[in-house]
Amino acid sequence: MIPSTVGFLDKDFEIEEQPTKVYKMDLEEASIRGFTDRKGAMEQAVFRILNTERYQFIIYPWYYGIETIDLYGEPITWVCPELERRITEALMMDDRITGVTDFEHDIRVKGVIHTSFTVHTNYGDLKVEREVNI
């Protein structure tokens, strides 16, 4: 006998908000402990996107991550605006991110650009810093 109804599938329901609960990465202890949600999950998502080199790992889709390898050896006047574009492009692939603004670049060590910026998400703003070797 085949049942005429499957259960919850015959009822109308609506998802109000996409869940964001993920395992929490503890970078200091180099372990995964517990869970995080909403803004904490967004911090991890931004961290993972900006620390994954695009096209280098076949496990990720082609649009995931950021391209920085080809910035090595390029003039700083070209790298800074290009880095802004690439960071924005990489992060805007996540539909929970609404914008990336307030870029500031600093050269603290020769050959390393320290970039700070604000990521606007559905769960609040995040101040993010990233260093790129040039």
- Provide the residue ranges of all domains of the chain, joining segments of one domain with +: 19-133
| Residue 127: count of CB within 10 angstroms of its CB | 9
Q: What is the pLDDT of residue 109?
A: 84
pTM: 0.81
**Residue 126 pLDDT more than 80?**
yes
What are the pLDDT digits (tens) for 17-69? 666 788 898 888 888 888 888 899 999 999 999 999 998 989 999 999 999 99
In the chain, where does DSSP find H-type helix? Answer: 39-50, 76-91
CATH, range 19-133? 3.10.450.40
Dihedral angle of Cα 73, 76, 77, 79, to the nearest 10 degrees: 70
Task: Tell me the three state secondary structure of residue 120.
Answer: strand
Q: Locate 54 and state its tokens.
A: 């695009």
